[in-house]
Structure 1
Amino acid sequence: MTAPRTTDLSDFERRLVESAREGELLGADQIDVDDLAETESPAHLVRAAVLRDLLLGRHGDLDPRGIMLARARITGELNLDGVSATAGLMLLTCVFDQPVLARQARLPHLYLIGGRMPGLHASRVRIEGDLHLSDGVRITGDSPDGAIRLIGAHLGGSLLCRDADIVNPAGLALEASSAELGSGLYLHRGTRITGSSADGAIHLNGASVGGPLECQSIKVSNDLGPAIEADTLTVARSMLIRDSELSGKGEIGAVRLQGAQIGGQLEFSATTRITSPEGRLLGLSDAKATTVFMPGDLVCPEGSTSAECDHSELAWLDGFTCTAIDPAFGWRRWLHLLRCHTEYYDATGYQKLAAVERTAGHDGNARTILIAQQDDLRRRSPEALGGRMSRLFHWIWGTLAGYGYRARRTAAALLLALVAAGVLGLCAGATETQPGHHAAQRVATGTACSPVELIGLGLDRGLPIAPTGLRSRCDLDTASVSGQVFTAAIWGVQVAVWGLATLALAGYTNLVRKTA
């Protein structure tokens, strides 16, 4: 049975009904907000039941512009659960005694401009237009559920918070997980959001934003968890965080965007600061954006590009994908974050960064990144390489061949090995084993070889293939101790030449690309 409409209207309430029918603003006399919250004057009081009756059409058809009311105290509970309203609601500098309930309600629009409200609980609400919270409005909460609850809400327009104060010392401040915000999410101009929850001051997990997400000149703080938690968030356009202060805690950062899909750029301006008492700042694991813009000191206070860092601030970048990195920030700073400001070794961050540089045509940068990846693997995850000998080989491989990404370095080492073979041949020819005989001498007569023959002997012994044929005329005297020593030394050179030749061939032909 439908509840009867409220009939015993005060003069102010009758004027409100008339104004709503005409689409005009009804404003009570000027009054301070603190005084308005305490007033008992009929000239400022409107019962919540009257507003509900108006939205249900129980006082006749309303103008499409909706209900517009200023400087009123709304007494009682405004319960709009399940209400399907034909007109929107605009409240300017109004004060509520109790939280507003609008769960599964349908409204053309909802504007809360100035004033105070002890909570807005509107999960699964459907608003055809915009939800505006602006011009000094203060919304407070006192439960873990959130000062503003928009779980699963659907907004055809945008959610705008401008110079709003949203506070909940007992839990979430803005809870909009799984919400659909058709035109965008705008947190602007002095908005202050304060929560106390392990799930974030702003909770946007699984939300979908049809336009941009902008945080402009705001402050967000949370003493128990992230300032922003937005895992698997979807943003159709860009996500811009400018001139803002974000302070929080949490295992995965004060700003957590794990798995977020951002259709445009992800930008943190030079005047944005992210802080955490634990130094855990930014979580971007498995997130995706087109271009990334951030100041050099957003994570690393020094904005360093070196391979080492004394600062302990952390970011989570494993699996993060972007098509480009702001040139002002640069790939070298991003590489520094991967090496020095991540909690553990992870290959995907390096692979993604190398792919960005390779796509941009910077193959040399990509090779440098992949070499740094292997260095980090040995430094932070040596057990993945196997035993001590495997780790030793990995180090030698990196030093001599750049893990297959520096084939020229391998070729230079091969050339040095061949030079060493030639030098060993010369030294053998200069080492006497007995009067008139040397460690390297002519085979037929035992006399001294010429310098050219000695160099050829070293190359002939050192080269695993393509012998010069000089050993038929000049060779090592393996019957002498010195000759045996030089023979063993050249065997070592031969092994080195074999290994280096293999690495050089693999590097030039791309046969070896270790990416673990």
Structure 2
Amino acid sequence: MEITDLTPAERRVWEAFPLGAAVDFREGRDEDPAAGASWGPERTVRAKVLRALLLDGPAQGGEIAGLKMWGARITGTLHLMYGTIEHPVRLRACHFEKAPNLYGARIPALVLTDSVLPGLTAGTLRVEGTLRLTCCRISGPVRLAGAKLSGAVFVNKARLGSPDEAAEEPVLQLNHAEVGTDVWAVGLIAHGQVRLKGATVGGQVNLNDARLHTPGDTALEAETLTLGTDLLAKGLRAQGRVNLSGSRIPGQLVFTYAHLSHPTGQALRASSCVIGELWLREAAPVEGAVNLRRTQLDLLHVPPEFWPRQVRIDGLSYRVLAPHLPAEQRLPLLEREADGYQPYPYEQLTAAYRTAGDEGAARTVQLAKLRRHRRTLPAYARLWGHVQDAAVGYGFRPMRAALWLLLLLCTGTLAFALQHPPALKPSEAPGFNPLFYTLDLLLPIIDFGQEGAFAPRGGFQWLSYLLIATGWVLATTIAAGITRSLSRQ
């Protein structure tokens, strides 16, 4: 392209390029690039001029060339597909008439901060430095699938998609991308899906205070995401499903103060994940279901009021559960399992309490597990379960058996003290002792010589039968409780 073909505005950019100097077309630093369609020729630059500069622009010895421009209206399509750009591109606060096409391009750095674009096509883009879309307003999709970026991606405070139109495809596509450091999306507003499926990020993904609006669909698609450190979503507002299934997050997954809403389905799906710490402190109650099946955690920090009415937590494992609360506040969650009674969540909660040294809470959870299991049994088994529960709390309430025995012992002793049963062989019978006679009836494996020597009659005979039967029941349940206690140890 000959310099004689350039407009005065384009000539300024052309002459500044070999020096790496900035060209600022702005009339004021607070002007809005959304009004760029009305900017005149004095600040209009054709995309083909920029393309010619970037692919074969002039150079000057001893200087580092680069495109650095503020407040320009860029007309036409900036077409750099598969191009190799050797200079950084910084187009701040610019108004793009058409979506740039950088598919498969190689570039040292790309900065579009504060710009307004109808979209960005940059799949499989290679960036040696950083990609900055900070505070951009992009009405169409940002296609970065398969991109490889050595540095970070910045989309903080960007506005993607349109609140008035349903997005036909994800507004931010970083699926299967490779990011060397971090993805910064603090304060991002996305009217459409944000897709990070299969992406690999060397550092963290930061979605603090982001607003993701995709009601009735998936707001954040991050299945099989692999991070180097954390996924931060403090204060996140997500209308639509947050899907992290199969992700690997060795640091923290933080949903503190977040609000997740997908009433018609799963608001949070994080099944089969491996996560260091999951923080849900001060998060609003979830609107929709939560799926954490088969996920592995070191720390789970979640208040009871966070959980919705339906959860899937079978196979969820965690070492520490915080904050430490009485078992009675944690148990209602296990009743909300969508697949009905599952023993594993009870065992996991028991293990967490034992890790914390709270053996009493662990016993409470185990007792709740047996009572919940009892509801799945046939009628005869449920009846026997009720007997064991009332007698000794399935072995987890051993003092209850002692109280039953004491009550029956007192009852029998008093009754037989008032009415001595007659001896079977008066000449051979020992002296009658109501206390030891009652013990002989209650304890089937102990013989004080009283039961075989005396034979009560009438109502006292029925009392003796009752003492014998309850003695066998108590002995059996106590033995079962001791066995269960020894097996736990």
1:153 aligns with 2:181: no
1:33: which partner in 2?
33
Residue 284 (structure 1) aligned with residue 270 (structure 2)? yes
Is the Cα–Cα contact under 8 Å of residues 289 and 323 in structure 1 kept in the other structure? no
Letter in 1 for 2:17: A
Aligned equivalent of 1:476 = 455
Q: What's 2:207 paired with? A: 215
* CA deviation profile, 1:115-153 (whole Å, cap 9, x unmatched): 211112222222222222113x10112xxxxx1222222
Is residue 2:487 matched to residue 1:510?
yes
Aligned mates of 2:321, 2:208 — CA distance in 1: 22
- For 1:241, the aligned partner's letter is A
Secondary structure, aligned partner of 1:124: coil
Corresponding residue for residue 355 of structure 2: 359
CA separation in 2, counterparts of 1:75 and 1:16? 15
Secondary structure of 1:16's partner?
helix
Alignment partner, residue 235 of structure 1 = 227
Q: 1:425, CA displacement in angstroms?
A: 3.4
- Aligned partner of 2:88 in structure 1 is 88
Structure 1 residue 360: Cα displacement:
3.6
Q: Counterpart amino acid of 2:451?
A: R
Q: For 1:235 and 1:128, locate their aligned partners in 2 and report how far apart those are by CA, in whole Å.
A: 20
- 1:331-342 aligned at under 5 Å gives the runs 335=330, 338-339=333-334, 342=337
Q: What is the alpha-carbon distance in structure 2 between the residues aligned to residue 367 and residue 37 of structure 1? A: 70
Residue 217 of structure 2 aligns with an amino acid whose one-letter code is G
Aligned to 1:206: 198
Amino acid at match of 1:287: C
**Given the superposition, is the C-alpha separation of residues 134 and 388 from structure 1 closer, same or farther in structure 2, using an over 3 Å criterion?**
same
Residue 393 of structure 2 contacts residue 400 of structure 2 at CA under 8 Å; is this kept in 1? Answer: no
Q: 1:268·1:295 contact (CA, 8 Å) conserved in 2?
A: yes
Q: Deviations over 1:195-224 (max 9, x none)?
A: 1xxxxx222222222212222232221123
Contact persistence 1:284–1:318 (CA under 8 A) = no
Decide which moves more: 289-298 or 490-499. Answer: 289-298
Amino acid at match of 1:50: V
Q: Are residue 22 (structure 1) and residue 3 (structure 2) matched?
A: no
Counterparts of 1:284-433 in structure 2 under 5 Å? 284-296=270-282, 298-299=284-285, 313-327=309-323, 335=330, 338-339=333-334, 342-345=337-340, 346-377=342-373, 382=375, 385-397=376-388, 400-402=391-393, 406=396, 409=397, 411-423=398-410, 425-426=412-413, 429=416
Q: Provide the TM-score with structure 2 as the length reference.
A: 0.82
**Residue type of the alignment partner of 2:271:** S
User: What 5-or-longer segments of structure 2 have no aligned partner?
Assistant: 288-300
Whether the aligned pair in 1 keeps the contact of 2:391 and 2:404 (CA below 8 Å) is no
- Structure 2 distance, partners of 1:372, 1:465, is 32
Secondary structure in 1 matching 2:445: coil
The answer for the alignment partner of 2:42 in structure 1 is 43
- Aligned amino acid, residue 390 of structure 1: A
CA contact (8 A) 1:151 1:179 kept: yes
> How far apart are the structure 2 equivalents of 1:61 and 1:320?
62
Aligned to 1:290, what secondary structure does the other structure show?
A: strand
The aligned counterpart of 2:473 is: 496
Alignment partner, residue 426 of structure 2: 445
2:95 maps to a residue whose letter is V
In 2: Cα distance, 1:193 partner to 1:203 partner:
11
CA distance in 2, matches of 1:334, 1:7: 78
Residue 87 of structure 1, CA deviation: 2.1
Aligned mates of 2:57, 2:65 — CA distance in 1: 17
2:227 and 2:116 mapped to 1: Cα distance?
Answer: 30
Letter in 2 for 1:463: L
Give the C-alpha shift of residue 323 in structure 1. 4.2
CA displacement 1:59-94 (0-9 Å, x = unmatched):
458965732121112222223332232222211111
2:203–2:229 CA contact under 8 A, matched in 1: yes
C-alpha distance 319-109 of structure 1, shift in aligned 2 (>3 A): farther
Q: How far has the Cα of 1:38 moved from its partner?
A: 3.4
Partner of 1:178: 176
Q: Secondary structure in 2 aligned to 1:225?
A: strand
1:32 is displaced (CA, Å) by 4.4
Q: CA, structure 1 residues 178+467, in 2 after alignment: closer, same or farther (shift >3 Å)? A: farther
Q: Render the CA deviation track for 1:415-472: whole Å, top value 9, x for unaligned.
A: 234335524533652676xxxxx5x333432999978x22212222221323233335
Structure-2 separation of matches of 1:457 and 1:88:
100
AA of the residue aligned to 1:99: A
Q: When the two structures are aligned, how many residues end up with a matched partner?
A: 467
Q: Which amino acid aligns with 1:54?
A: L
Q: Cα distance, 1:105 vs. partner? A: 2.4
Identical columns (%)? 27
Residue 12 of structure 1 corresponds to 9
Aligned 8 A contact 1:286 1:318 in 2: no
Mapped partners of 2:472, 2:49: distance in 1: 94
Distance 1:216 1:304 in 2: 18
CA distance in 2, matches of 1:331, 1:7: 81
Distance 1:211 1:34, change over 3 A: closer
User: What's 1:274 paired with?
Assistant: 260
Q: Give me the whole-angstrom Cα distance separating, in 1, the residues matched to 2:55 and 2:20.
A: 16
CA-to-partner distance for each residue in 1:237-264, whole Å, 9 max, x for gaps? 122222332222xxxxx33323332211
Deviation of 1:166 after TM superposition, in Å, equals 0.8
Who is 1:251 aligned against?
none
1:464 to 436, 444, 448: 444
CA distance in 2, matches of 1:412, 1:333: 20
